[in-house]
């Protein structure tokens, strides 16, 4: 299979702007699926609403472009109906951590076997560049014209605290590492999330005086610090840095498996109920 075989080219051209990193994240996802040799019919991909969430339209799997923030519950439904299917969630930083935050917490808590790929551009792209929970401190957006007075939110810490069992952060510069993480996440039994740092040159870039997408990707590279290295750095030294790498990996019972095996030990009473 070639990467092209995974694409619905009749749905092109895509909506993404020149210099946007979304294409790199999608390509990396497809590279991971390709090298795992998972048949297209065994993959469902669900997205929310946002620029990033448009990705599901372009790929030849069972795909759902759902509501803003709701990709995770829709994906849970798909998994419940088809327990053997690989279910991936494509989401933006606002989509999953703001409007969809509650779903994110509870899917992680239950360790539901989903692979969530966060296209984290630190801004609301689709609606024209408003502040997001992950927008860095002091950054300008259309709703923080004088700079963001709030500190940015760490999605990885949130889901690790909630019970996710595979958590990694990557960037669109470190593509080989990203593909590796996505592969591992898909193979992982349980809730996995990869937070991918990606540039939005048109809104974030323009408002914060970046020349273009390449300049932004260069900065993403410069700011990146590996988890291993980060351990030896002080809080001050880590200020403004992005810690990348595998943040958590743990083997634990996955929701649906435990659900089914739990009820398999129960018997049926004469009235049809489980006892």
Ligand X SMILES: Cc1ncc(C[n+]2csc(CCOP(=O)(O)OP(=O)(O)O)c2C)c(N)n1
Site string for ligand X, 59-98 (x = CB under 6 A): ---------x-----------------------xxxx---
The SS3 call for residue 124 is strand
Q: Give CA–CA dist 49/145, Å, rounded.
A: 24
Block residue for tokens 């005086």 = 209
Please give the residues from 74 up to 113 whose contact with other proteins meets the rule CB under 8 A. 74-78, 80-82, 84-85, 102-103, 105-106
Q: Give CA–CA dist 198/202, Å, rounded.
A: 12
From the list ligand X, other proteins, none, pick the one residue 137 interacts with, judged by a Cβ distance below 5 to 8 Å according to partner type.
none
Burial of 245 (0-12, 13-18, 19+ CB in 10 A): middle
| Least distance (Å) between residue 38 CB and other proteins | 12
Q: CB atoms < 10 A from the CB of 180, how many?
A: 18
- Stretch near other proteins under the rule CB under 8 A, chosen from 176-184, 185-193, 195-203, 265-273: 265-273
Q: Does 26 bind other proteins (CB under 8 A)?
A: no
Q: CB atoms < 10 A from the CB of 160, how many?
A: 18
H-state helical runs in 42-174? 71-81, 93-94, 101-109, 155-162
Q: Does 50 bind ligand X (CB under 6 A)?
A: yes
Q: Which is nearer to other proteins, 62 or 223 (CB)?
A: 62
Q: Does 9 bind other proteins (CB under 8 A)?
A: no
Q: Does 11 bind other proteins (CB under 8 A)?
A: yes
Q: Does 61 bind other proteins (CB under 8 A)?
A: yes
Site string for ligand X, 125-164 (x = CB under 6 A): xxx----x--------------------------------
Question: Is the CB of residue 120 less than 8 Å from the CB of residue 134?
Answer: yes
From the list other proteins, ligand X, none, pick the one residue 60 interacts with, judged by a Cβ distance below 5 to 8 Å according to partner type.
other proteins
Q: Give CA–CA dist 211/178, Å, rounded.
A: 25
End-to-end Cα spacing for the chain: 48
Question: Is the CB of residue 210 less than 8 Å from the CB of residue 201?
Answer: yes
**Chain residues in the site for other proteins (CB under 8 A):** 8, 10-11, 40-42, 44, 46, 49, 56-57, 60-67, 70, 72-78, 80-82, 84-85, 102-103, 105-106, 256, 259, 263, 266, 268, 272-274
């Amino acid at each position: 299979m070639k990467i092209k075989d995974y694409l619905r080219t009749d749905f092109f051209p895509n909506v993404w702007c020149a210099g946007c990193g979304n294409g790199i994240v999608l390509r990396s996802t497809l590279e991971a699926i390709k090298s795992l040799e998972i048949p297209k019919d065994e993959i469902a991909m669900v997205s929310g609403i946002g620029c990033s969430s448009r990705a599901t339209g372009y790929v030849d799997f069972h795909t759902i472009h759902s509501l803003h923030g709701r990709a995770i519950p829709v994906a849970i439904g798909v998994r419940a109906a088809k327990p053997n299917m690989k279910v991936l969630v494509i989401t933006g930083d606002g989509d999953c951590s703001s409007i969809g935050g509650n779903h994110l917490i509870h899917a992680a808590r239950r360790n539901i076997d989903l692979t969530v790929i966060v296209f984290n551009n630190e801004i609301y792209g689709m609606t024209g560049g408003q502040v997001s929970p992950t927008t860095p401190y002091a950054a300008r957006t259309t709703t923080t014209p004088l700079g963001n007075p709030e500190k940015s939110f760490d999605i990885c810490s949130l889901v690790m605290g909630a019970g996710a069992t595979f958590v990694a952060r990557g960037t669109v510069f470190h593509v080989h590492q990203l593909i590796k993480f996505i592969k591992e996440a898909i193979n992982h039994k349980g809730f996995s999330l990869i937070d991918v740092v990606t540039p939005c040159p048109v809104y974030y870039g323009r408002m914060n005086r970046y020349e273009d997408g390449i300049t932004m990707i260069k900065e993403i590279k410069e700011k990146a610090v590996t988890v291993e290295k980060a351990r030896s750095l002080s809080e001050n030294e880590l200020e403004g840095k992005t810690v990348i790498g595998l943040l958590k990996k743990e083997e634990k019972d996955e929701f649906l498996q435990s659900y089914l095996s739990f009820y398999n030990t129960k018997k049926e009473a004469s009235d049809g109920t489980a006892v």
